[in-house]
Amino acid sequence: MENAGKVRLRYAPSPTGPQHIGGIRTALFNYLFVKKHGGTFVFRSEDTDQTRFVPGAEEYIVDSLQWAGITIDEGIHVGGPYGPYRQSERKDMYRQYAEQLVKDGHAYYAFDTPAELEEMRERMSSQGNPSPAYDHITRQYMKNSLSLSQDETEKRLASGDAYVIRLKMPRNEELKFEDLIRGWVVFNTSQLDDKVLFKSDGMPTYHLANVVDDHLMHITHVVRGEEWLPSAPTHIMLYRSLGWEDTMPRFAHLPLVLKPEGNGKLSKRDGDRLGFPIYTLNWENPLTGEKISGLAERGFLPEAYMNFLALLGWHPGGDKEVMTPEELVESFSLDRVGKSGARFDPEKAKWINQQHIKMKTGAELAELLAPTLEAAGVSAEPAFVAAACELMKDRAVFIPDLYEQGKFLFGDDLEYDEKTVAKKWKKENAGLFENLRERLFLLEQFSESELERTVHDFMEDKGLKAGEVMPVLRLALAGGLQGPPVSAMMALLGKESCDNRLKKGFQLFNTLI
């Protein structure tokens, strides 16, 4: 990589609401590329559209990145040499570039009122034009510094008439660039409109601010969603017109994140529809009261989240799909990012989380499970919780499952699955099971191997099959047939709790059938 060690990428969301996994995926691809090449990850807030600003959205996005392990090197909350990193705080520096463009003949003042713009659109539609635009043709009939005399323009500017500055898109020129994912992309300027660069409220539009900032912040690569591809020619035209073509960043447009069914872009409502969070963290919109739920609170692991997001559009070289953040950084490259949309698959997400849960130690899981246990009012020795997590981890999809599916480990008060008891318990064997309980009680070492041996010997002595004994033990120890291996479960519970459960269970089973 020719720029090795010097790459600077930015994630530049607009704080118009919380970002779902599609947005965080964009941040992640920027981050992985930066880490791979030893560069800098910049976070910039593109908040120029004051009408769409949602309080708290910026913090929400920063918190989401932080939770996911995507560290910001430079940006809001962190600082850096090219700040400020919030566009509203950079407001005053954009006008000069827009004015410069006008002076050099690449942009112009436009005085049209909203009513006049509407009238133009209506007129063009009625003439059969399906997508009316302010462009190299219509600009000739509108009120702007290209169609009006210089005197008239100056008079309007001096009188304080509202105006915008528009980019003068040339006629019939070929604009092309090499996208790092899509290869050569070609546009003809005649198909492009004269985008507003500077608004009447004194704020730049996204296009101007984005290009000016990427230039001033020395951004080397722009990695963003495919929805921005149509904006790329405007940006390229701006780089050219501002004389910055030599240092123009490379572009990479990521494939869209699609609904699981593949029909359209994943959208904020899909989380509810699927019963599976598509956001990182829980949040309540302070303006609308609307609530969204996060994968973090649901019990997703940050490293699984990163792994799963990386696979939304990127294909690792080999068969290995379950990867740690370090492995992702190591093997990431933009040329393994596909062009076609990436389907969001909740089942795959669950599977990946499960694999990462399995990779953790019992003690690590116990720490992650602490909030769940606290909420359930369960208190247990840390060593016990760790051992329980170790036993349960092969079955958990989300962290709280370690408790939800292993509740019976945390208290002797069990709920019995009576139907199964009726099927498995034979009254005539009651005496035999009592004998087994005594044998177990006499064990000096209540270890998994001793327990296993004792149960095995008992079965042999009494001529009983595993199918007649194990389910009954499970029912007495856990209330149902679920759970980890019986002897492991007994060793974890310890002699006293086991003996109580067996005693209580066998007595109860006699009354149930």
Query: What residue ranges bind ligand GLU (CB under 6 A)?
Result: 12-14, 46, 206, 210, 224, 228
Between 230 and 494, name the residue whose CB sits nearer to ligand GLU: 230
Between 245 and 412, name the residue whose CB sits nearer to ligand GLU: 245
Q: Which of 91, 265, 268, 504 is catalytic?
A: 268
Between 228 and 384, name the residue whose CB sits nearer to ligand GLU: 228
Decide if 6 is catalytic: no
Do strands 283-284 and 291-292 pair parallel, antiparallel, or not at all (unpaired)?
antiparallel
Q: How far is the CB of 26 from ligand GLU (least distance, A)?
A: 7
Q: How far is the CB of 222 from ligand GLU (least distance, A)?
A: 6
Q: How far is the CB of 48 from ligand GLU (least distance, A)?
A: 9
Q: How far is the CB of 46 from ligand GLU (least distance, A)?
A: 4
- Give, in degrees to the nearest 5, the angle at Cα 283 between 281 and 286: 155
Write phi, then psi, for 176 (nearest 5 degrees).
-140, 155
Full DSSP string of 144-181: BTTTS-HHHHHHHHHTT---EEEE-PPSS-EEEEEETT
Q: How far is the CB of 151 from ligand GLU (least distance, A)?
A: 39
CA distance 13 to 27: 9
CA distance 455 to 374: 35
Between 168 and 221, name the residue whose CB sits nearer to ligand GLU: 221
Best CA proximity match to 155, nearest among 169, 145, 167: 145
Q: How far is the CB of 232 from ligand GLU (least distance, A)?
A: 9
Q: How far is the CB of 380 from ligand GLU (least distance, A)?
A: 46
Residue 74 is encoded by which pair of tokens? 């430079």
Q: How far is CA 116 from CA 86, 108, 111, 162, in A?
A: 33, 17, 10, 13
Which amino acid type is present at position 251?
Answer: F
Between 210 and 353, name the residue whose CB sits nearer to ligand GLU: 210
Best CA proximity match to 111, nearest among 141, 156, 167, 151: 156
CB–CB of 439/458 below 8 Å?
A: yes
Between 228 and 416, name the residue whose CB sits nearer to ligand GLU: 228
Best CA proximity match to 40, nearest among 165, 221, 185, 210: 221
CA distance 332 to 36: 7
Between 25 and 156, name the residue whose CB sits nearer to ligand GLU: 25
CA distance 278 to 280: 7
Enumerate the active-site residues: 268
